[in-house]
Amino acid sequence: MADAPAGPAIALLLPERRRFAGQAPSPAVARLLGRADALPPAQAGERAQLQRWFELLPRGWPVAAITRQHDAGDAGLHAWLRADPAYVRPDMTGARVLAIGELGLTPAEAEALVQPLRPLFGDAGFPISAPVPSRWYLALPVDARLPDFAPPEAVLGDDLFLHLPDGPEGRRWRALLNEAQVLLHNHPVNQTRVAAGKPPVNSLCFWGAGRLPDHVRARLRTVATDEPTLAALARLAQANPGTGEGRLLDLRHLREWSAVEPRLVEALAQAGEAGLMLDFADGAGWWLRAGQRWRFWRRPLAALA
């Protein structure tokens, strides 16, 4: 599934199948999947999954600029880097990243935490702002040279030190991160949050660097999602009159397969002859169409994985 085939009336974006480990499909859905067309394995990961449904020109994955445009409407002024609030807990071997972005900050808390960071990043030439409490940004000069930053899905749950950038440019950003951590460590907002049993913001996650794409095209016309990156991509794609037909439904937030099945059955009934596509974040996929119901010689799918 290196490229999503054109044609499904509805596509469901789903998390990795391992999230549903031990949850067998119902007999009816097992029959549907057993008779469906399994798609060739595709690249795994959030970026690869979304790139199957959106084309960006110039090519790349500048998530910071994409979501900045959605959050503040000014992404065309600079290149951007996400500097999302993070919670890191020291352990025996290093510092484990336990949360990135969604820490339940209020707008007032985010503004108070960003305030002492402004001189640090401003003096470095990277003004910081927090238009949304869970998404913080650094405005970059167009010609800024950056190291490779690991995406949040790679960092979350792992040792922070394994994902810090290296090389000459990496040293600069490691130094900035260290100074930011010192400023955040004793911040009154964090002291209040810890006293209330809430996670502190004691680090930042740099990722998603780039400029706003010149062109974004979606493979399907409408997108239903509450996830910020996908919502921002869909909003940019609305400006492109060449967008294809069909609907993309985001179910990546679901944790139970029993919650997916009713949506799958409903979508298949609405899809008509063009059919329904399932796209899992681990690269697996199936295409379900009406004519497949006659494939009764095929066995039901015993398990998703």
Report the pLDDT value the prediction gives residue 167, as an integer from 0 to 100. Answer: 87
Cis, bond preceding 8 (omega within 30 deg of 0): no
In what order do the strands lie in the sheet containing 276-280?
Answer: 37-38, 285-288, 276-280, 10-14, 247-250, 222-224
Q: Are 85 and 170 within one domain?
A: yes
Write down the pLDDT at residue 210.
95
Are 151 and 231 part of one and the same domain? no
pLDDT at 73: 95
Query: Do 92 and 151 fall within a single domain?
Result: yes
Looking at the fold, whether 145 and 185 belong to one and the same domain comes out as yes
Q: How much is the pLDDT for 142?
A: 83
Clarify whether residues 150 and 28 are in a common domain.
no
For residues 67 and 206, membership in a common domain is answered with: yes
* Residue at which a domain ends, from 210, 234, 249: 210
In-domain check, residue 180: yes
Q: For position 120, what pLDDT does the model report?
A: 97
Give residue 171's domain range. 63-210
Residues 140, 192: one domain?
Answer: yes
Q: pLDDT at position 168, please?
A: 87
Rounded CA-CA distance 95/89 in Å is: 5
Domain presence at residue 82:
yes
| Res 16: pLDDT | 96
Instruction: Name the domain count of the chain.
Output: 2
Where does a domain end: 162, 185, 210? Answer: 210
Q: Are residues 190 and 87 in the same domain?
A: yes
Between 257-271 and 27-35, two packed helices, what is the crossing angle to 10 degrees?
Answer: 50
Beta strands 135-140 and 79-90, pairing class: antiparallel
pLDDT of residue 5: 47
CB atoms within 10 A of CB 230: 22
Query: Which of 149, 176, 210 is at the close of a domain?
Result: 210
pTM of the model: 0.89
In a domain, 113, yes or no: yes
pLDDT along the chain (305 residues), means of 10: 62 96 93 95 95 94 96 94 96 90 96 98 97 98 90 93 91 96 95 96 97 94 94 89 78 96 95 94 94 90 87
Domain identity same for 80 and 179: yes
239 and 205, same structural domain? no
